[in-house]
Amino acid sequence: MPAHTTGPGVPFPPPLLFIAGFLLGWWLDTRLEFLIHGTGAGPIQVGLGFVLVGTGCLLMLWGITTFVRARTAVIPMSPARAIVVTGPYRFTRNPMYVGLTVAYVGIALLVNMAWPLLTLPAVLIALRLFVIAREERHLRQAFPEAYAAYCARVRRWL
């Protein structure tokens, strides 16, 4: 069966990568505390944390809502029905992942733990290798010209 009818073959929901990375950071913190600020999160750090969590969540919701309106699969285990180029997809090919990343950093600031920030690059590498690469391959096969034109116009991240 062609990949464009079976989906990208992502074996798990991508937010699980972010959860796993944060949990690994939390576990590392229980073994060797590594705080962002030694005396605790101050008002600026907390404020920035809330802004980042809120911004990340809004970006994720905007991406999801745009997919739902376009009637294409939100979960990357299902085949895409269309290339979405409106809403946040005008600025980034992965607004949901950008939103998750921004919210992840915000949560780390709120809980004042540096370890999750150090595990974030591994999360993003795993996301690129095991999720985004499969999604992009699926979209190139399902919508060759449209996806190539979209990639030429819009960056993967920002």
Angle, helix 144-153 to helix 133-142, in steps of 10 degrees: 130
* Number of residues that make up the chain: 158
In angstroms, rounded to a whole number, what is the distance separating the alpha carbons of residues 127 and 70? 24
In angstroms, rounded to a whole number, what is the distance separating the alpha carbons of residues 29 and 67? 37
Enter the pTM of the model: 0.94
pLDDT reported for residue 6: 77
Residue with tokens 């929901």: 13
User: Per the structure block, which two tokens stand in for 150?
Assistant: 């979209």
* Percentage with pLDDT > 70 across the chain: 97
User: Per the structure block, which two tokens stand in for 21?
Assistant: 């990375």
List CB contacts of 84: < 8 A, sequence separation 6 or more: 66, 67, 70, 72
Q: Tens digits of per-residue pLDDT, 2-23?
A: 445 678 999 899 999 999 999 9
Q: Tens digits of per-residue pLDDT, 81-131?
A: 999 999 999 999 999 999 999 999 999 999 999 999 999 999 999 999 999
Residue-averaged pLDDT of the chain? 94
Spell out the SS3 assignment of the chain: CCHHHHCCCCCCCCHHHHHHHHHHHHHHHHHCCCECCCCCCCHHHHHHHHHHHHHHHHHHHHHHHHHHHHCCCCCCCCCCCCCCCCHHHHCCCCHHHHHHHHHHHHHHHHHCECHHHHHHHHHHHHHHHHHHHHHHHHHHHHCHHHHHHHHHHCCCCC
Band of pLDDT at residue 1, cut at 50, 70 and 90: very low
